[in-house]
Structure 1
Amino acid sequence: MSISSALTNAMTGLRAAGHTSETISANIANAMTPGYGVRTVALSSSEFGGVSIDGVTRNVDPALLGDRGLASAASNNASDRTEFLTNYEDFLGIADDPNSLASRIAQFESSLITAASRPDAPERLDSAVNAAKDLATLISTASKDIQDARSEADRNIELQINQLNSNLSSVQELNRQITRTTVLGGDTSALEDNRQALVDEISAIVPVRQIDRDNGQIALYSTGGAILLDGGTAEIEFTAANRVTAYMTKSGGQLSGLTINGYDARTGSENGRLGGGSLGAQFEIRDELGVEAQTQLDALARDIIERFQDPAVDSTLATGDAGLFTDDGAAFDSVNEVGISDRLGINVAVDKQEGGESWRLRDGINAVTQGDVGDARQLQALSETMLVNRTPASGDFGAGSFSLIGLASTLTSQLGATRGQAQQTQAFTSTQYNELNQLVLAEGVDTDQELQRLMLVEQTYAANARMIQAVDEMMQTILGL
């Protein structure tokens, strides 16, 4: 080996060692940076002698990252659904909760029995009226709670669509930058890190599959079949409502759906083009879970109103008159069933705060004057009608007939079963995501391994430096001759 060849080998070795140590330092510094891909310097023997730096390789597992993205979407979807169902179930309460729906019905029934034992006692009549008001208030508030959740879901859809469009545009721009940098022979690792972070954010909203294109670019397709990014980006549009009410549904045309590049896109939980992630969960809450919860609650409110507006229960009522429970002061009309739980209240005729008198609970809603204060037949009739088994005229309660407490228990049992299934799904998807995320993290920076590599680089650097020193000594000897 000539002196010039030895010097060339040593100089290229020093450059390679310096570049490698810089890359290792960057790896260690970004050990906790989300989305960071471990870098290694690719080296080879140069045809002119010495070491050639071929570039920097970003070491990631695309398949593992894709699976983690899908798991993230499923976990977010299950979490949002479970949160809605849990909040609603908590509001209606479990059977032994004194403020639950079942307990309010039981308290009202008990207050009627107590009043019937002393029909002449005004305080017992007042207590029964208050118990009826408490029951109506709980159901009305639960209805408002459902619509608040649907309204929040509608706002979340708008926010997530805006974020989705913004992230897709950013990924498209990074695609262009990566292509330019690749053509110029530069290092695209940092750009790819940024792009992967954006893809992870997109995957949490909509589950996507990533497809590699030429020159380092990628395309994104939703698992529902929508093209989100492939050269150009999809234009996704949605119009938020100011406030969602029980009368507003997507199927009825009062709420916005999605359009992709100007075409209507399915949003159902079973076949949504952008379903499966947090966006799909928000549509399901707004258009399916919330609507179903409202329908069941309206059916319960209808049953309550109809039980107490029956002239056979209160002889002072004529057909079409409002009974003890009313639809915003009126009798039940099947045309107006939607949202009836929100309007449920008690008849002003027995409400002292509205100028009524509680003795009408004993003598009849439409009674003009007090009757026999010792007559408990009307109170007993009100109590007995709560025990009558009736087939619900609406809602989905299965076959059979129910007492009032039985109907309420069926409603809460159905809700509990749905919530339980949602929690099981959430537990599975959360575990799956956590396991995949741990695998991704395991593929990340291993600081111990990086430090070992750095020690080897230091040895390489010292060896090449010693070679240069030896060449220098040889040159000095030659010049001294």
Structure 2
Amino acid sequence: MSLSASLANALTGLTASSRRAEVVSSNVSNALTEGYARREIHLSPQSLGGNGAGVQIDGITRSVNVALLADRRLADAEAGNSGMRTDFLARVESLIGSPEDAGSLSARIAELESALVQAASRPDSQARLQSVVDAANRVTGHLNALSDDVQQARMDADDSIAKQVETLNDALGQIDRLNAEILAQRASGRDATALMDERQRLVDRVAEIVPVREVPRDRDQIALFTTGGAILLEGNPAVIGFNPVGVITADMTIGSGALSGFTINGMPVPSGDDGVLGGGTLGAATAIRDDLATGVQAKLDALARDLIERFETPALDPTLAPGQPGLFTDSGLILDPLLEEGLAGRIRLNTIVDPAQAGQLWHLRDGLGAVTQGNVGDATLLNALTTALSVPRVASSGSFIGARSAAGLAADVLSGIASARQQEEFRQSYTVARQGALTELQLADGVDTDAEMQQLLLIEQAFAANARVIQTVDDLIQQLIGL
């Protein structure tokens, strides 16, 4: 081999060693960078006229465990979904309160029952009658606040859906542009791995909102499909449509057309958590708005209806005229069974017994329809009101089983929500554990800094060997010149 050929071979070796050192340096410095994939440099021998001509760099590739990455993305979506659902149910459960809590819904009803008993023992006491009014107002106020909070949660979910759809559309557009840039980089022979890292980060963001499967295409392009079967990116990015509303009331549902569903490229698609865009945080927000919150509202409305019906019968208060509301009202009116949606937010104490609303306390003792006061020592009606509150009866609506007292019905509402929360927490603990395990596996499959440093030592040796060849060739040339 000639001196010039030896020099050329050594120079290619130096170039390759230098490039390998850059790759190792990049791997080590980005070991904890989100979305970064370990780089691998590929070398091969090159020849010239059948003779060895050193080494050539074939390219740099990203080392990615595709199956593990796909599973981790699905785990991210499931963990986000279960987390949002659990948080909502826990929030409602906390607002209802445990029966042993002084400010809980069950405790409010128990306070009302206790106030009625005390008033019946001294029907002439204005203070005890006022205690009944105050306790009753606390019951209705608690139900009103719960209903308002449930509707606020629906509005928050609707706003979250709008923001997530905007993020989803932006991310899909950026991924499409990165596909084009990666294609251009490949066509010009430049390294596109950094662009691929950024694309992976964007796909990870999409996967948290909607669980997706990434499908590789020719020339390092990718397509995205949801696990529900929708095409998000195939050549061109899909456009997800959604129209948020400003205010949501209990009677507004997606079925009535008052709330917006989803469209993909202008075509309506199923919008539930089990629809084509369900399974991630977007599906969880949809479930809260259209399923979980409406289910909670229905339970609260059934409880409010039961309270109204317990005191609305003429057999309880003979002074009540037909069409006259009882102790509790629907915003001052008699109950209309066909307008139950949102009743928990409209239930009110009858103003006729509330001095704060120009009423008279003696109506609690003498009858809501009484024209004049009766015997101040007569506790008949107060005893009847106490019995009506505590007697077991089958609720007219809701999915309750068996006869319950008012307090028992409130406990059933809490029990149903607590049971749903516990199920979601169990699911969340599983999904979070799975997410953590897959994340650890992905990190372990990523950059191993110890291995990279060992590789750097080998590169250093190769660099030194090639430098030694160049030094030797230089010495020989100097000797030839000196002859």
Matches of 1:244 and 1:434, distance apart in 2: 37
- Give the drift of 1:123: 1.1
1:96-151 deviations in whole A, cap 9, x for unaligned? 11111111111110111111111121111111110110000001110011100001
Letter matched to residue 374 of structure 1: G
Matches of 1:448 and 1:130, distance apart in 2: 71
Matches of 1:32 and 1:462, distance apart in 2: 30
RMSD of the TM alignment (CA)?
1.1
Matches of 1:250 and 1:322, distance apart in 2: 33
* Aligned residue in 2 for 1:288: 291
Report SS of the residue matched to 2:404. coil
- Give the drift of 1:4: 1.8
Matches of 1:319 and 1:369, distance apart in 2: 19
* Aligned residue in 2 for 1:418: 420
1:339-365 deviations in whole A, cap 9, x for unaligned? 111001101112121111222212222
Asked if 1 retains the 8 angstrom alpha-carbon contact of 2:35 and 2:200, the reply is yes
* Aligned residue in 1 for 2:316: 313
* Aligned residue in 1 for 2:102: 98
Letter matched to residue 304 of structure 1: L
1:354-382 deviations in whole A, cap 9, x for unaligned? 11122221222223332222111111100
Asked if 2 retains the 8 angstrom alpha-carbon contact of 1:35 and 1:193, the reply is yes
* Aligned residue in 1 for 2:83: 79
Asked if 2 retains the 8 angstrom alpha-carbon contact of 1:310 and 1:319, the reply is no
Matches of 1:237 and 1:66, distance apart in 2: 26
TM-score (norm 2): 0.97
* Aligned residue in 1 for 2:393: 390
1:163 corresponds to 2:171: no
Matches of 2:193 and 2:244, distance apart in 1: 39
Asked if 1 retains the 8 angstrom alpha-carbon contact of 2:321 and 2:369, the reply is no
Please say which of residues 220-229 and 18-27 is displaced more in the overlay. 18-27
Matches of 1:325 and 1:381, distance apart in 2: 15
- Give the drift of 1:178: 1.0
Please say which of residues 62-71 and 316-325 is displaced more in the overlay. 316-325
* Aligned residue in 2 for 1:231: 235
Q: How does 1:99-114 map to 2 (within 5 A)?
A: 99-114=103-118
- Equivalent pairs: percent with the same residue? 48
* Aligned residue in 2 for 1:466: 468
* Aligned residue in 1 for 2:219: 215
* Aligned residue in 2 for 1:338: 341
Matches of 1:316 and 1:425, distance apart in 2: 54
4+ runs deviating over 3 angstroms: none
Asked if 2 retains the 8 angstrom alpha-carbon contact of 1:115 and 1:124, the reply is yes
The count of corresponding residues between Structure 1 and Structure 2 is 479
Q: How does 1:133-148 map to 2 (within 5 A)?
A: 133-148=137-152
Q: How does 1:193-272 map to 2 (within 5 A)?
A: 193-270=197-274, 272=275
- Give the drift of 1:190: 0.3
1:318-350 deviations in whole A, cap 9, x for unaligned? 232111111101111112211111001101112
Matches of 1:111 and 1:425, distance apart in 2: 43
Asked if 1 retains the 8 angstrom alpha-carbon contact of 2:117 and 2:386, the reply is yes
Matches of 2:372 and 2:427, distance apart in 1: 59
- Give the drift of 1:254: 0.5
Asked if 1 retains the 8 angstrom alpha-carbon contact of 2:113 and 2:390, the reply is no
Matches of 1:459 and 1:369, distance apart in 2: 109
* Aligned residue in 1 for 2:403: 401
1:21-67 deviations in whole A, cap 9, x for unaligned? 11111112212210001112111111231111111111111111111
- Give the drift of 1:261: 1.5
Letter matched to residue 117 of structure 2: I
Matches of 1:390 and 1:26, distance apart in 2: 72
- Give the drift of 1:437: 0.9
Letter matched to residue 364 of structure 1: G
* Aligned residue in 1 for 2:44: 44
Report SS of the residue matched to 1:283. helix
* Aligned residue in 1 for 2:359: 356
* Aligned residue in 2 for 1:448: 450
* Aligned residue in 2 for 1:433: 435
Asked if 2 retains the 8 angstrom alpha-carbon contact of 1:41 and 1:56, the reply is yes
* Aligned residue in 2 for 1:325: 328
Structure 2 unaligned regions, length at least 5: none
Asked if 1 retains the 8 angstrom alpha-carbon contact of 2:301 and 2:344, the reply is yes
Asked if 2 retains the 8 angstrom alpha-carbon contact of 1:168 and 1:229, the reply is yes
Matches of 1:440 and 1:363, distance apart in 2: 75
Matches of 1:325 and 1:97, distance apart in 2: 24
Report SS of the residue matched to 2:47. coil
- Give the drift of 1:389: 2.1
